[in-house]
Structure 1
Amino acid sequence: MKMAHALETVKAFGLLRSRGVGDPKKPLESLRTIRETKIYGPQAATIRHNARVKPDFPGIIDERGPISYGELDTQSSAIARGLRAAGVTEGTVIGILARDHRGLVLSMAAAGKLGVRVALMNTGFAKPQFAEVCAREKVKAVLHDSEFLGLLDALPAELPRVLTWVDDGTELPEGTQTLDDLVDAYRADSAPLPPPSKPGGFIILTSGTTGLPKGAPRTKVTPLSTAQLIDRIPFPPGGTQVIVSPIFHSTGLASWLVASAMGNTVVLRRRFDAEATLKLVADNKAQMLVAVPTMLHRMTELAPEVRARYDLSSLNCILVAGSALSPELCAKTTETFGPVLYNLYGSTECAVATVANPDDLALAPGTVGRAPITCEVRLFDDNDKQVTAVDTTARIFIRSGAPFEGYTDGRHKQIIDGYMSSGDVGHFNEHGLLMVDGRDDDMIVSGGENVFPLEVENLLLERDDVNDVAVVGVDDVEFGKRLRAFIVPEPGHTPDADEIKAHVKNNLARYKVPREVIFLDELPRNQTGKLVRRTLVEYEAPA
């Protein structure tokens, strides 16, 4: 087994070279970048590398326009000096509460140059969540967009804070500092920053769909993480990619890090808009788009005449992750944009697990595909015994070579023979493709029968009159739990509850039929599109 893993690692480094990560004509520069990654972390090392080899190439395009890799390097160094002057030193934790724009990238790069640990905060936080996470993670400074000024009231007044983006018309408190202020004050200081003794790393927060988000630290960095992503996903070396998936979460962050490693231009927008996203792709002739399924759904729902306004011929990859991709959305995306869809499956804790490419999705719409290089997936039953039978649902475990260090609250995921629990259950189909059946803790036991909501949800999403759907279990005296379906109707349609139940009964087992059907204007979803089921479980249905 160790020999096989070693061979996989050798293949992975060969893959990196063949896909344009590092220049074989400049081996010393490649070695320097690898060495700096171990010191500064990838968020700063890749910017430093690109500033040396292609300083005038645009690294970021946002609502303020383009900014080159040379400027990203210069400005992040100035910001690092300003933070150091404010008492932010190696080993401390800073919180970054920012949408997707250059200020977020500059903040992460500056933190890397100081050896500071970055806690990426969810832009959907309410004040109590934000305060609790900052306290738990021992945050010593906050860099944030002006729209979140109100959340900062919950933190100690003496905590250093810097604005990463200022909305037009915002009245700023006296003495407020911005990233631009730090750049202006420290740009002329040409003295090199002393390198940190080790990378500060990241604290990436889990989705928090079942409670307060847990902190998953990532300190150790390996080039294999890049290899795992580019193995089955066509990241364009030296090309352009639009990222609308939030960078504070693992998929958006990983996509940006790989883009930076490949010397790409990344196009960002602070708030998602379906038509505006297509315009970004067309205007920048982007080869790649990174999104979450709910965003993709909204793009496919645009009227054909709206989509026709934009030339999307450059686009050869739409990468989605963060929540389940339904077979219906898979088919609709291919019909709308062609065979360009890639479905990434993983988690904040386990990193990359599998990727489905267009051929996989044509064979099995909704599949999460196969494990990329240096990754492995196994299924284990409730007795921790490996399950190898086809079409047999069991718990999903992942070995990715990206070590999870345990949550910041001291808890850890279950590990069996080096494979870590993803928290999901699934099965391999006859083609060897992994199908995710649902979250382990989403399983509903109704009348002694096990039901995974995803199967019922995918069936209902195939209907023309259903735009979005969620199925949960609620307490029932007779059955223990009964199924309740929440449906967002397709505009212009009025589904009938009894007909919905009959449709499920005609296609699935009787115990999978919802006892209740409730119609809503929208479902509660977080910033990455994941369904917040606890809100629906607690929903008080009208009498």
Structure 2
Amino acid sequence: MRMSLNYVTDAIAGQMPVVDPSLPAVVLGGEPAVSWTELRARELRYARALQRAGIRKGDRVGILLRNCVDYVALYLAVGRVGGIAVRLNWRLTGPELQFALSDSGASLLLFDAEFAVTIEGIRDRIAVTTYVSRPSTGAAPDWATPLPVFAAQESDATGFPEVSADDPVSLMYSSGTTGRPKGVLFSHGNALWIGAVQAQRWRIDERTVAQTSGPLFHAGGFEVLLLPALLAHGTAVTFPSGNFTCERFLEVARHNGTTSMLLYPFMLADLLQRDAVETLVPATLRRIVTGGDVVMPWIYDELERRLPGVELVQSYSLTEGGAVSTSLEFAMARGRESSIGRPQAMTEVKVIRPDGTPTGAGEVGEICVRSGGMSIGYWNLPDATKATFVDGWCHSGDLGSVDEDGFLTIAGRAKDMYRSGGENVYPAEVEMVLTGHDDVADAAVIGVPDPKYVETGAAIIVPAEGHTVDPEQVRRWLTERLAKYKVPKHFHFVSDLPRNASGKVLKSVLRKTYGGKRND
């Protein structure tokens, strides 16, 4: 059997299937489960349709879908024909999508019909030649083929190209410190490794029902828990996109008998502040995985008191590093609640000084990761690839320290990124757009505390000479050009920004001045 993502559904076929093909494979929310037999049939049907549309090995296929079973089937189908799935964030604006599609050179775009208006506005500026629309909340536009028509013919598993572990399969765009997003490329082997390591660490098998709360275009929404559940032939439960509420998420978990779930820290805090939380979670729940932000000590106390049979696992990684690099299991967390744990199996983590030498115990330096799940590099950015991936190590840009027992603690973010509601926000990208406004002469963006999203953006603006900046007008202007989670919540106005001798903005000064303010 070829070592690629084809294994996910190929393993249920043939003389020795690894699991009963009639068992549930993927579930969207509270909808009826899709069996392994149906998932395989959809994947093969979609793969054959991609072949008929001219997709060949190495071609890029854009996927702009909300969470759905078809997302999983289409992603596997792209991998089966040797293509590279460009997993697009559906929150992005037209110009942002235009950049990702143009930079990747995607020739076919699969999209939910609700995004047709946004795509219509950029069609003349991208190289996509084939559009396929999933009629989720509306009819397909006349310039796109409806997915049921596109993939109407049944197919077997023959006639597809050989795909190896080294072949690329996924391209995810991550905002960067330069203000331009970078395409992070992963191979079939990366995906298999990422899934296998989690399955080993957290005992994921065919009895696992894994549920995530994030979007499937994110590593946290697909590669964490769902991918290992698919590889282990358990059940992957994805939550419908948008309008997340704790009540709906837990209702889905009870309906499906979820055994492991992913909740971001702010969601976990929301859950544990509810009355009768013991009755809200399913009796089958054994593990909650979290990440993105440090878990507050009181959460451990409340979880142990109110849900004593549920293990909390805190995880850490960055997209380039491969979904999960370290984890802090509940049994090791007491007294180390601020830590992000130890490396996963077959993963190496080190903290280094600027000269590349290892730090001592408790000394802060840059976190570096090496594993089989690490990205194979940035798309068409050789210089950025060389800067981030050095001698087999992924340099995270995050700052941290390791104690005498080998536990890693985050100290800060060297790349100036902050996280808002589980999403990475890079101030450089927001600043580049903000300073394009006629009323803005200069601007800096920082992350500030937020009671719901942990952090949110604050923009410190120098108005252009003779201009007055209207915060609401600028907010609307940014919303047209950036995903909503990237738009700063707070605006402050100054005559100039503090800078050092080389002209660099002193964001430490800005954080000291504005970091504690939550009102404009």
With the length of structure 1 as denominator, give the TM-score of the two structures. 0.72
Alignment-derived partner of residue 61 in structure 2: 94
Alignment-derived partner of residue 62 in structure 1: 28
Cα distance in 2, alignment partners of residues 371 and 190 from structure 1:
41
Alignment-derived partner of residue 422 in structure 1: 396
Residues 219 and 480 of structure 1: is their aligned pair in 2 closer, same or farther, counting only changes over 3 Å?
closer
Give the conservation status (yes or no) of the 8 Å contact 2:131–2:143.
Answer: no
Deviation for aligned residue 1:326: 4.4
Q: How does 1:241-280 map to 2 (within 5 A)?
A: 241-254=210-223, 255-271=225-241, 272-280=244-252
Q: How does 1:405-484 map to 2 (within 5 A)?
A: 405-410=376-381, 411-412=384-385, 413-415=387-389, 417-442=391-416, 468-469=454-455, 475-476=497-498, 480-481=506-507, 483=509
Cα distance in 2, alignment partners of residues 477 and 397 from structure 1:
29
Deviation for aligned residue 1:484: 5.0
Deviation for aligned residue 1:469: 4.7
Cα distance in 1, alignment partners of residues 452 and 374 from structure 2:
41
Alignment-derived partner of residue 46 in structure 2: 79
Q: How does 1:163-174 map to 2 (within 5 A)?
A: 163-164=133-134, 166-167=136-137, 170-174=138-142
Give the conservation status (yes or no) of the 8 Å contact 1:251–1:322.
Answer: no
Residues 336 and 51 of structure 1: is their aligned pair in 2 closer, same or farther, counting only changes over 3 Å?
farther
Give the conservation status (yes or no) of the 8 Å contact 1:231–1:372.
Answer: no
Q: How does 1:257-336 map to 2 (within 5 A)?
A: 257-271=227-241, 272-301=244-273, 303-305=274-276, 307-327=277-297, 329=299, 331-336=301-306
Alignment-derived partner of residue 518 in structure 1: 517
Alignment-derived partner of residue 118 in structure 1: 85
Structure 1 range deviating more: 221-230 or 396-405? 221-230
In structure 1, give the amino acid aligned to 2:222. Answer: L
Q: How does 1:132-151 map to 2 (within 5 A)?
A: 132-151=99-118
Cα distance in 1, alignment partners of residues 189 and 376 from structure 2:
12
Deviation for aligned residue 1:58: 1.0
Structure 1 range deviating more: 197-206 or 81-90? 197-206
Alignment-derived partner of residue 364 in structure 1: 336
Cα-to-partner distance string for 1:455-477 (whole Å, 9 max, x where unaligned): xx99988xxx8884569896337
Alignment-derived partner of residue 317 in structure 2: 346
Cα distance in 1, alignment partners of residues 141 and 68 from structure 2:
22
CA RMSD of aligned residues (A): 3.2
With the length of structure 2 as denominator, give the TM-score of the two structures. 0.75
Cα-to-partner distance string for 1:51-96 (whole Å, 9 max, x where unaligned): 5522211111115421111111111111122222222222210010
Cα distance in 2, alignment partners of residues 225 and 259 from structure 1:
11
Give the conservation status (yes or no) of the 8 Å contact 2:278–2:307.
Answer: no
Give the conservation status (yes or no) of the 8 Å contact 2:80–2:163.
Answer: no
Instruction: Report sequence identity in percent.
Output: 21
Cα-to-partner distance string for 1:277-298 (whole Å, 9 max, x where unaligned): 1111111111100233333344
Residues 80 and 369 of structure 1: is their aligned pair in 2 closer, same or farther, counting only changes over 3 Å?
same
Cα-to-partner distance string for 1:385-436 (whole Å, 9 max, x where unaligned): 111x222111111111335322113121445553321110001234421101
Q: How does 1:392-407 map to 2 (within 5 A)?
A: 392-407=363-378
Residues 263 and 197 of structure 1: is their aligned pair in 2 closer, same or farther, counting only changes over 3 Å?
closer
Give the conservation status (yes or no) of the 8 Å contact 2:56–2:82.
Answer: yes
Cα distance in 2, alignment partners of residues 256 and 381 from structure 1:
36
Residues 140 and 460 of structure 1: is their aligned pair in 2 closer, same or farther, counting only changes over 3 Å?
closer
Give the conservation status (yes or no) of the 8 Å contact 1:247–1:256.
Answer: no
Deviation for aligned residue 1:139: 0.6
- Report the 3-state secondary structure (helix = DSSP H, G, I; strand = E; otherwise coil) of the residue aligned with 2:395: strand
Give the conservation status (yes or no) of the 8 Å contact 1:236–1:287.
Answer: no
Deviation for aligned residue 1:439: 0.8
Deviation for aligned residue 1:242: 1.1
Q: 1:230 aligns with which of 175, 199, 223?
A: 199
Q: 2:172 aligns with which of 193, 204, 218?
A: 204
- Report the 3-state secondary structure (helix = DSSP H, G, I; strand = E; otherwise coil) of the residue aligned with 2:289: strand
In structure 2, give the amino acid aligned to 1:343. Answer: Q
Cα distance in 2, alignment partners of residues 195 and 477 from structure 1:
56
User: Which has the larger share of helix?
Assistant: 1
Give the conservation status (yes or no) of the 8 Å contact 1:473–1:484.
Answer: no
- Report the 3-state secondary structure (helix = DSSP H, G, I; strand = E; otherwise coil) of the residue aligned with 1:259: helix
Q: How does 1:470-509 map to 2 (within 5 A)?
A: 475-476=497-498, 480-481=506-507, 483=509
**Structure 2, unpaired ranges of 5+:** 419-445, 461-496
Residues 477 and 133 of structure 1: is their aligned pair in 2 closer, same or farther, counting only changes over 3 Å?
closer
Give the conservation status (yes or no) of the 8 Å contact 1:380–1:396.
Answer: yes
Cα distance in 2, alignment partners of residues 392 and 353 from structure 1:
20
Give the conservation status (yes or no) of the 8 Å contact 2:350–2:358.
Answer: yes
**Structure 1, unpaired ranges of 5+:** 1-31, 445-456, 486-512, 521-541
In structure 1, give the amino acid aligned to 2:210. Answer: Q
Cα-to-partner distance string for 1:492-525 (whole Å, 9 max, x where unaligned): xxxxxxxxxxxxxxxxxxxxx65664225xxxxx
In structure 1, give the amino acid aligned to 2:498. Answer: D
- Report the 3-state secondary structure (helix = DSSP H, G, I; strand = E; otherwise coil) of the residue aligned with 2:80: helix
Deviation for aligned residue 1:210: 6.8
Structure 1 range deviating more: 397-406 or 154-163? 154-163
Alignment-derived partner of residue 109 in structure 1: 76
Alignment-derived partner of residue 128 in structure 1: 95
Cα-to-partner distance string for 1:118-173 (whole Å, 9 max, x where unaligned): 11111211110000110000010111112221221212486212123512xx2432
In structure 2, give the amino acid aligned to 1:424. Answer: D
Give the conservation status (yes or no) of the 8 Å contact 1:325–1:366.
Answer: yes
Alignment-derived partner of residue 192 in structure 1: 158
Q: How many residues align?
A: 434
Cα distance in 2, alignment partners of residues 459 and 162 from structure 1:
41
Give the conservation status (yes or no) of the 8 Å contact 1:91–1:200.
Answer: yes
Cα distance in 1, alignment partners of residues 400 and 157 from structure 2:
55
Cα distance in 2, alignment partners of residues 165 and 200 from structure 1:
29
Residues 368 and 66 of structure 1: is their aligned pair in 2 closer, same or farther, counting only changes over 3 Å?
same
Give the conservation status (yes or no) of the 8 Å contact 1:244–1:269.
Answer: yes
In structure 2, give the amino acid aligned to 1:376. Answer: E
